[in-house]
Amino acid sequence: MLGLSLQNPRKRAPRFLFIGAHADDLEIGCGGTAIELARRYPRSTFRWVVLSGDSTRHAEARRAVRALLGTSVKIDLELHSLRESHFPSQLPDIKATLERLKKDAQPDVVLSHFGGDLHQDHRTVSEAVWNTFRDHLILEYEIPKFDGGLGSPSFFVPLGKLALRRKVGTLMKVFKSQHGKRWFTPDTFHGLMRLRGIECNAPSGFAEAFYARKIVLGTD
Q: Which CATH number fits domain 15-211: 3.40.50.10320, 3.40.1790.10, 1.10.10.10, 3.90.1640.10?
A: 3.40.50.10320
Domain boundaries defined on the chain: 15-211
List, for residues 119-171, the tens digit of each pLDDT value: 999 999 999 999 999 999 999 999 999 989 899 999 999 999 999 999 999 99
Range with lowest mean pLDDT among 59-68, 69-78, 137-146: 69-78
pLDDT of 103 = 96
Q: Over the chain, what is the mean pLDDT?
A: 94
pLDDT tens sequence across 178-193: 999 999 999 999 999 9
**According to the model, what pLDDT value does residue 143 have?**
97
Poorest-confidence range of 43-52, 129-138, 209-218?
209-218
Measure the CA angle with vertex 78, ends 74 and 79; round to 5°.
Answer: 145
Q: Which residue has the higher pLDDT, 7 or 20?
A: 20
CA distance 116 to 134: 18
Q: What is the pLDDT of residue 66?
A: 95
Partners of residue 74 on adjacent β-strands: 45
Contact 136, 107 (CB under 8 A): yes
Distance, in Å, from the CA atom of 166 to the CA atom of 95, rounded to the nearest integer, reads: 32
Which residues contact residue 57 at a Cβ distance below 8 angstroms, ignoring those fewer than 6 apart?
Answer: 22, 23, 50, 177
Confidence of residue 45 (pLDDT cuts 50, 70, 90): very high
The Cα 21–Cα 181 span in angstroms is 18
Nearest one of 104, 123, 38, 40 to 75, comparing CA atoms? 38
Neighbour count for residue 156 (Cβ, 10 Å): 19
Cα–Cα–Cα angle for 20, 2, 33, rounded to 5 degrees = 20
13: pLDDT confidence band, cut at 50, 70 and 90?
confident
Estimate to the nearest angstrom the gap between the alpha carbon of 159 and the chain centroid: 14
CA pair distance 73, 36, nearest whole angstrom: 12
